[in-house]
């Protein structure tokens, strides 16, 4: 991977002199709220290696997770996974300093990496599905919208297998690089139109979409295993904004039924058709 001339620098966090008192004012003002900057500098002071080369990203990530917990995310498994995946390795190195704020960030091609709180919330919702409640894990997962691969890496820690589809070739390729770097071996990346799901690997115990469509594509329901749960942003009734929609595949007296519930408002990039 290091032989790839396009591979970005994975140095993180920034050298201590960029975070401490001597930071250039532009970096402070533009990239990071003062409070986070102070926390990061304090972390840096604690985590500094003997040779003073920088800090460990673990502590910055733990702080992010603490904040998410304070804001109501209370599934320990999800918190642990978010504390494990190095989000800074999935964004451009110029944005690495913002990687542990609860914000979406550009990943190129008009797309964004989702906010950690939303990733956490949606995965926690998946854990509420019947099969996941019984087994304590997400089983076989289908993700629509690989993007930079961050959410796929989080899912990989909580699932038996992850199949993730992306329709933009450059992002599909980037995710492959990123996931190689974090050694997320159980993730299978597919370049294709995620609205069609991935029949060869179906059925899935959990389906999660990172892009919002007009409605839930029929293929996703067809590929959702009995006892499985789907979570997807979907255009709200009346066409204003998006809501998180949960669909459970229940089986009663041998007959399938799909139970749909609507949850809070969210803001995701649109689910598009075809590949590019």
Which residues of this chain interact with ligand SAH, rule CB under 6 A?
107, 111-114, 144-145, 147-148, 150-151, 165-168, 171, 193-195, 210-211, 269, 271-273
Our measurement of the distance from residue 75's CA atom to the centroid of its chain's CA atoms, rounded to an integer in Å, reads: 16
Q: Hey, is 264 helix, strand or coil?
A: strand
Residue 130 half-sphere exposure toward CB, CA atoms < 13 A: 13
Closer by beta carbon to ligand SAH, 131 or else 146: 146
Active site residue 256: no
CB atoms within 10 A of CB 136: 9
Supply the minimum distance, in Å, between the C-beta of residue 20 and ligand SAH: 30
Closer by beta carbon to ligand SAH, 44 or else 82: 82
Supply the minimum distance, in Å, between the C-beta of residue 112 and ligand SAH: 6
Supply the minimum distance, in Å, between the C-beta of residue 67 and ligand SAH: 19
Supply the minimum distance, in Å, between the C-beta of residue 219 and ligand SAH: 11
Closer by beta carbon to ligand SAH, 150 or else 204: 150
Burial degree of 51 (CB within 10 A; 0-12, 13-18, 19+): exposed
| Crossing angle for the helix pair 116-126 and 76-84, to the nearest 10 degrees | 140
Supply the minimum distance, in Å, between the C-beta of residue 133 and ligand SAH: 24
What secondary structure does DSSP assign to 137-174, as a single string?
S--EEEEE--TTSHHHHHHHTTSSEEEEEES-HHHHHH
Closer by beta carbon to ligand SAH, 49 or else 273: 273
Residue 135 contacts by C-beta under 8 Å, 6 or more apart in sequence? none
Closer by beta carbon to ligand SAH, 96 or else 211: 211
Name the active-site residue from 114, 164, 186, 273. Answer: 114
Supply the minimum distance, in Å, between the C-beta of residue 208 and ligand SAH: 8
Is residue 60 within 8 A of residue 97, CB to CB? The reply is: no
- Which residue, 98, 106, 15, is CA-closest to 64? 98
Closer by beta carbon to ligand SAH, 18 or else 198: 198
Our measurement of the distance from residue 18's CA atom to the centroid of its chain's CA atoms, rounded to an integer in Å, reads: 27
Distance from the first to the final alpha carbon of the chain: 24
Stated as kind and residue range, the H or E segment containing 229 is strand 224-235
Give me the active site residues, please.
114
């Amino acid at each position: 991977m290091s032989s790839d001339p396009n591979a970005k620098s994975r140095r993180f966090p920034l050298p201590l002199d960029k975070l401490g008192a001597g930071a250039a004012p532009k970096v402070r003002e533009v990239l990071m709220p003062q409070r986070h900057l102070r926390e990061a500098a304090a972390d840096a002071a604690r985590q500094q290696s003997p040779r003073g080369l920088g800090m460990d990203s673990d502590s910055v990530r733990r702080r992010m997770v603490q904040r998410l917990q304070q804001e109501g995310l209370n599934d320990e498994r999800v918190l642990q996974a978010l504390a494990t995946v190095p989000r800074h390795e999935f964004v451009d190195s110029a944005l690495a300093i913002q990687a542990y704020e609860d914000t979406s960030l550009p990943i190129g091609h008009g797309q964004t990496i989702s906010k950690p709180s939303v990733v956490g919330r949606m995965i926690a919702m998946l854990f509420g599905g019947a099969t996941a409640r019984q087994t304590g894990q997400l089983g076989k997962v289908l993700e629509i919208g690989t993007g930079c691969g961050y959410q796929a890496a989080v899912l990989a820690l909580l699932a038996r297998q992850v199949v993730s589809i992306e329709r933009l070739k450059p992002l599909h390729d980037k995710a492959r690089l990123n996931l190689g770097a974090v050694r997320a071996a159980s993730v299978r990346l597919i370049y294709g139109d995620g609205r069609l799901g991935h029949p060869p690997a179906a059925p899935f115990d959990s389906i999660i979409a990172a892009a919002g469509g007009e409605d839930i594509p029929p293929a996703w329901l067809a590929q959702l295993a009995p006892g499985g749960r789907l979570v997807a942003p979907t255009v709200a009734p009346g066409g204003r904004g998006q809501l998180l929609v949960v669909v459970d595949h229940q089986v009663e007296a041998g007959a399938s039924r799909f139970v749909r519930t609507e949850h809070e408002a969210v803001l995701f990039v649109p689910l598009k058709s075809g590949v590019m």
